[in-house]
Amino acid sequence: SYVLTQPPSVSVAPGQTARFTCAGNGIGSKSVQWYQQKPGQAPVLVIFHENDRPSGIPERFSGSTSGNTATLTISRVEAGDEADYYCQVWDSRGDNFWVFGGGTKLTVL
Amino acid sequence: EVVLVESGGGAVQPGRSLRLSCSVSGFTFGDYALSWFRQAPGKGLEWVGFIRSKVYGGTTEYAASVKGRVTISRDDSESIAYLEMNSLKSEDTAVYYCGRVVGNDYVVDYWGQGALVTISS
């Protein structure tokens, strides 16, 4: 089955840039989504189709893909961005259609 | 405003069954697929299963980890989807989320707030 690998944690100071990586074989050929999940809350879609933002998501959030790695970038990080971030792809050929990475916890110093 | 609300969670003994509901509003439920996910305490997100819209046959797909124990159904007239789970195990303890599915690559754009299911004797 398809596997997505994310680092467990990222720490940045307010105002700096946070980058979250998501590694997967051939991920560049897949549609990548990113979800933000704050403690005790449901996930929120922040990036879809690799680099599209739903309405209401700030321009500070962007996505990209290079090789076998997708990246979520948050510019000018704010304290309110502290959350877990999950990458996800749709894999109709495997056992699990929705494949998630293990998540990366963002700590704002 | 798109809203999804799960209900029916609670404490259940191992081996018993449970049915969760996902009530939606703010959109025409029948036009969309709906998916269920879960998150065990302190763990990441896991897909459970989904149901297509009637236009696409209303068919279902399930994760390998729950296949055979889970049934997803929908009532478009009531704008409700259901997740029935049987032969519950301790490892089924999780917060269960429903989500609206959009597009050909099945993006989940809105999620419910979740329902906690605890399997314990």
Side-chain-facing half-sphere of B105: CA atoms under 13 Å: 12
What is the model's pLDDT at position A91?
A: 85
Q: Is the pLDDT of residue A95 over 80?
A: no
Side-chain-facing half-sphere of A1: CA atoms under 13 Å: 16
Residues of B in contact with A102 (CB under 8 A): 44
Tokens coding A17: 């840039």
At A53, the amino acid letter reads: R
Mean pLDDT value of segment B53-81: 96
End-to-end CA distance of chain B: 40
Q: Would you call A95 and B63 a contact, using CB atoms and an 8 Å cutoff? A: yes
Q: How confident is the model at residue B27 (pLDDT cuts 50, 70, 90)?
A: very high
What is the model's pLDDT at position B89?
A: 95
- From CA A48, how far away is CA A62, in angstroms rounded? 10
User: Do the Cβ atoms of B19 and B82 come closer than 8 Å?
Assistant: yes
User: With an 8 Å Cβ cutoff, is B108 touching chain A?
Assistant: yes
Q: Is the pLDDT of residue A92 over 90?
A: no
At A25, the amino acid letter reads: N
Test mutation, B37, B95, B102, B108, chain A, max A CBs within 10 A: B108
What is the model's pLDDT at position A102?
A: 97
Mean pLDDT value of segment A54-74: 96
Question: A8-37, pLDDT tens digit by residue?
Answer: 999 999 999 999 999 999 999 999 999 999
B63 C-beta neighbours (distance < 10 Å), count: 19
Across the interface, of B45, B47, B111, the residue whose CB is closest to A97 is: B47
Question: What average pLDDT does the structure give for chain B?
Answer: 96
Residues of A in contact with B47 (CB under 8 A): 96-100
What is the model's pLDDT at position A89?
A: 94
Q: Is the pLDDT of residue B53 over 80?
A: yes
Q: Would you call A54 and B112 a contact, using CB atoms and an 8 Å cutoff? A: no
